[in-house]
Amino acid sequence: EKDMGTDLARVLVTEDEINAKLRELAEQIDRDYEGRDVLLVGVLKGAVMVMADLARALHSPITMDWMAVSSYGSGTKSSGVVRILKDLDTDIADRHILVVEDIIDSGLTLSWMLANLASRGPASLEVCAFFRKPEAAKVDIPVKYLGFDIPNEFVVGYGLDYAERYRNLPFVGTLAEHVYSGGKPA
Protein backbone atom coordinates (compact mmCIF):
# COMPACT_ATOMS: atom_id res chain seq x y z
CA GLU A 1 0.00 0.00 0.00
CA LYS A 2 2.93 2.33 0.63
CA ASP A 3 4.49 1.38 -2.72
CA MET A 4 4.40 4.51 -4.83
CA GLY A 5 4.70 2.42 -8.00
CA THR A 6 1.07 1.32 -7.94
CA ASP A 7 -0.05 4.96 -7.88
CA LEU A 8 1.50 5.73 -11.27
CA ALA A 9 -0.02 5.30 -14.70
CA ARG A 10 3.12 5.72 -16.78
CA VAL A 11 6.62 7.19 -16.76
CA LEU A 12 6.92 10.45 -18.71
CA VAL A 13 10.56 11.38 -18.11
CA THR A 14 13.07 8.79 -16.90
CA GLU A 15 15.86 9.29 -14.39
CA ASP A 16 18.42 8.93 -17.20
CA GLU A 17 16.67 11.60 -19.27
CA ILE A 18 16.59 13.89 -16.25
CA ASN A 19 20.30 13.43 -15.61
CA ALA A 20 21.24 13.99 -19.25
CA LYS A 21 19.17 17.18 -19.36
CA LEU A 22 20.71 18.45 -16.12
CA ARG A 23 24.20 18.08 -17.62
CA GLU A 24 23.11 19.85 -20.79
CA LEU A 25 21.57 22.79 -18.92
CA ALA A 26 24.52 23.03 -16.52
CA GLU A 27 26.91 23.27 -19.46
CA GLN A 28 24.91 26.15 -20.96
CA ILE A 29 24.66 27.94 -17.64
CA ASP A 30 28.40 27.52 -16.94
CA ARG A 31 29.15 28.99 -20.35
CA ASP A 32 26.68 31.89 -20.10
CA TYR A 33 27.73 32.97 -16.61
CA GLU A 34 31.46 32.53 -17.05
CA GLY A 35 33.29 35.08 -14.89
CA ARG A 36 30.11 36.23 -13.14
CA ASP A 37 28.73 35.28 -9.73
CA VAL A 38 25.28 33.82 -10.08
CA LEU A 39 22.70 33.48 -7.33
CA LEU A 40 20.35 30.56 -7.88
CA VAL A 41 16.91 31.31 -6.45
CA GLY A 42 14.90 28.16 -5.79
CA VAL A 43 11.14 28.21 -5.33
CA LEU A 44 10.13 26.02 -2.40
CA LYS A 45 9.22 23.27 -2.25
CA GLY A 46 9.01 21.79 -5.72
CA ALA A 47 12.36 23.12 -6.94
CA VAL A 48 14.39 21.41 -4.21
CA MET A 49 15.32 18.40 -6.35
CA VAL A 50 16.28 20.25 -9.52
CA MET A 51 18.12 22.90 -7.50
CA ALA A 52 20.22 20.33 -5.65
CA ASP A 53 21.05 18.37 -8.79
CA LEU A 54 21.60 21.35 -11.08
CA ALA A 55 23.86 23.06 -8.54
CA ARG A 56 26.03 19.95 -8.34
CA ALA A 57 26.19 19.65 -12.13
CA LEU A 58 27.54 23.22 -12.41
CA HIS A 59 31.21 24.07 -12.29
CA SER A 60 30.54 27.78 -11.66
CA PRO A 61 30.93 29.04 -8.07
CA ILE A 62 27.25 29.70 -7.36
CA THR A 63 25.33 30.71 -4.26
CA MET A 64 21.77 29.68 -3.43
CA ASP A 65 18.78 31.30 -1.87
CA TRP A 66 15.13 30.28 -1.54
CA MET A 67 11.69 31.78 -1.71
CA ALA A 68 8.43 30.21 -0.63
CA VAL A 69 5.26 31.63 -2.09
CA SER A 70 1.62 30.73 -1.87
CA SER A 71 -1.35 31.55 -4.06
CA TYR A 72 -4.29 33.25 -2.45
CA GLY A 73 -7.76 32.07 -3.34
CA SER A 74 -9.49 28.74 -3.36
CA GLY A 75 -8.72 25.59 -5.26
CA THR A 76 -5.52 23.80 -6.10
CA LYS A 77 -4.75 25.96 -9.13
CA SER A 78 -2.86 29.17 -8.66
CA SER A 79 -4.88 32.36 -8.91
CA GLY A 80 -1.98 34.61 -9.86
CA VAL A 81 -2.30 36.47 -6.58
CA VAL A 82 0.74 35.47 -4.61
CA ARG A 83 1.89 35.99 -1.06
CA ILE A 84 5.46 35.56 0.15
CA LEU A 85 5.75 32.91 2.87
CA LYS A 86 9.54 33.10 3.00
CA ASP A 87 11.47 35.86 1.33
CA LEU A 88 15.07 35.75 0.14
CA ASP A 89 17.79 36.19 2.76
CA THR A 90 19.86 38.01 0.15
CA ASP A 91 19.69 41.55 -1.24
CA ILE A 92 19.66 40.87 -4.98
CA ALA A 93 20.33 44.43 -6.19
CA ASP A 94 23.04 44.29 -8.88
CA ARG A 95 23.26 40.50 -8.63
CA HIS A 96 22.90 37.98 -11.44
CA ILE A 97 19.79 35.99 -10.58
CA LEU A 98 18.75 32.66 -12.04
CA VAL A 99 15.36 31.50 -10.78
CA VAL A 100 15.13 27.71 -10.60
CA GLU A 101 11.65 26.16 -10.84
CA ASP A 102 10.49 22.58 -11.12
CA ILE A 103 7.53 23.37 -13.35
CA ILE A 104 5.66 26.10 -15.14
CA ASP A 105 1.99 25.22 -15.24
CA SER A 106 -0.24 28.29 -15.76
CA GLY A 107 2.84 30.50 -15.39
CA LEU A 108 1.09 32.70 -12.84
CA THR A 109 3.44 31.96 -9.93
CA LEU A 110 6.57 32.76 -11.91
CA SER A 111 5.00 35.75 -13.61
CA TRP A 112 4.34 37.32 -10.22
CA MET A 113 7.75 36.30 -8.86
CA LEU A 114 9.66 37.70 -11.81
CA ALA A 115 7.92 41.07 -11.49
CA ASN A 116 8.64 41.05 -7.76
CA LEU A 117 12.32 40.17 -8.21
CA ALA A 118 12.79 42.61 -11.10
CA SER A 119 11.62 45.45 -8.84
CA ARG A 120 14.63 44.77 -6.59
CA GLY A 121 17.07 45.85 -9.29
CA PRO A 122 19.08 42.72 -10.11
CA ALA A 123 21.89 42.99 -12.67
CA SER A 124 20.17 40.22 -14.63
CA LEU A 125 17.19 37.93 -14.13
CA GLU A 126 16.67 34.64 -15.97
CA VAL A 127 14.63 31.47 -15.51
CA CYS A 128 15.54 27.80 -15.48
CA ALA A 129 12.38 25.68 -15.51
CA PHE A 130 12.84 21.94 -15.63
CA PHE A 131 9.32 21.14 -16.82
CA ARG A 132 6.68 23.16 -18.60
CA LYS A 133 3.09 22.43 -19.63
CA PRO A 134 2.56 24.54 -22.76
CA GLU A 135 -1.14 23.63 -22.95
CA ALA A 136 -1.75 25.01 -19.45
CA ALA A 137 -0.09 28.40 -20.02
CA LYS A 138 -2.12 31.46 -19.07
CA VAL A 139 0.79 33.85 -19.32
CA ASP A 140 3.94 33.60 -21.37
CA ILE A 141 7.12 33.27 -19.29
CA PRO A 142 10.50 33.84 -20.93
CA VAL A 143 12.46 30.69 -20.05
CA LYS A 144 16.15 30.78 -20.92
CA TYR A 145 16.89 27.26 -19.69
CA LEU A 146 14.14 24.72 -20.27
CA GLY A 147 14.21 21.04 -19.41
CA PHE A 148 11.14 19.39 -20.92
CA ASP A 149 7.78 20.37 -22.33
CA ILE A 150 5.26 17.84 -21.03
CA PRO A 151 1.56 17.21 -21.66
CA ASN A 152 -1.09 18.81 -19.49
CA GLU A 153 -1.63 15.78 -17.27
CA PHE A 154 -1.43 15.05 -13.56
CA VAL A 155 2.29 14.56 -13.13
CA VAL A 156 4.33 13.76 -10.03
CA GLY A 157 7.94 13.08 -9.10
CA TYR A 158 11.28 14.89 -9.11
CA GLY A 159 9.87 17.59 -6.83
CA LEU A 160 6.33 17.57 -8.22
CA ASP A 161 3.74 16.58 -5.64
CA TYR A 162 0.18 15.47 -5.31
CA ALA A 163 -1.01 16.47 -1.82
CA GLU A 164 2.70 16.74 -0.82
CA ARG A 165 3.48 13.16 -1.83
CA TYR A 166 5.64 11.66 -4.60
CA ARG A 167 8.21 14.48 -4.62
CA ASN A 168 11.00 11.97 -3.97
CA LEU A 169 10.41 9.84 -7.06
CA PRO A 170 13.62 10.11 -9.12
CA PHE A 171 11.60 10.29 -12.36
CA VAL A 172 8.39 11.96 -13.51
CA GLY A 173 5.23 9.99 -14.11
CA THR A 174 1.52 10.47 -14.53
CA LEU A 175 -0.64 9.70 -11.55
CA ALA A 176 -3.07 6.82 -11.82
CA GLU A 177 -6.66 7.97 -11.80
CA HIS A 178 -7.60 6.01 -8.69
CA VAL A 179 -5.25 8.18 -6.62
CA TYR A 180 -7.07 11.45 -7.23
CA SER A 181 -10.56 10.07 -7.88
CA GLY A 182 -10.65 8.19 -4.59
CA GLY A 183 -11.41 4.89 -6.29
CA LYS A 184 -9.67 1.55 -5.84
CA PRO A 185 -6.50 0.62 -7.70
CA ALA A 186 -7.06 -1.62 -10.71
What secondary structure, in 3-state letters, does the chain show? CCCHHHHEEEEEECHHHHHHHHHHHHHHHHHHCCCCCEEEEEEECCCHHHHHHHHHHCCCCCEEEEEEEEECCCCCCCCCCEEEEECCCCCCCCCEEEEEEEEECCCHHHHHHHHHHHCCCCCEEEEEEEEECHHHCCCCCCCCEEEEECCCCCEEECCECECCECCCCCCEEEECHHHHHCCCCC
Q: Indicate which residues carry an active-site annotation.
A: 105
Q: Does residue number 49 form part of the binding site for ligand PRP (CB under 6 A)? A: no
- What string marks each residue from 86 to 115 as x (binds ligand PRP by CB under 6 A) or -? ---------------xxxxxxxxxx-----
Residue 17 touching Mg ion (CB under 5 A): no
Selected binder of Mg ion within 161, 167, 171, 178 (CB under 5 A): 161
Q: How far is the CB of 46 from Mn ion (least distance, A)?
A: 3
Distance CA(133)–CA(82), nearest Å, equals 20
Q: Which residue lies nearer to Mn ion by CB, 33 or 49?
A: 49
Exactly one of 4, 9, 17, 45 binds ligand PRP (CB under 6 A); that residue is 45
**Closest by Cα among 116, 126, 120 to 36:** 126
Q: State which residue, 46 or 122, has the beta carbon closest to Mn ion.
A: 46
Asked whether position 41 contacts ligand PRP by CB under 6 A, the answer is no
Binding mask 3-32 for ligand PRP (x = CB under 6 A): ------------------------------
- Give the nearer residue to Mn ion in terms of CB position, either 20 or 68: 68
Footprint on this chain of ligand PRP (rule: CB under 6 A) = 43-46, 78, 101-110, 161
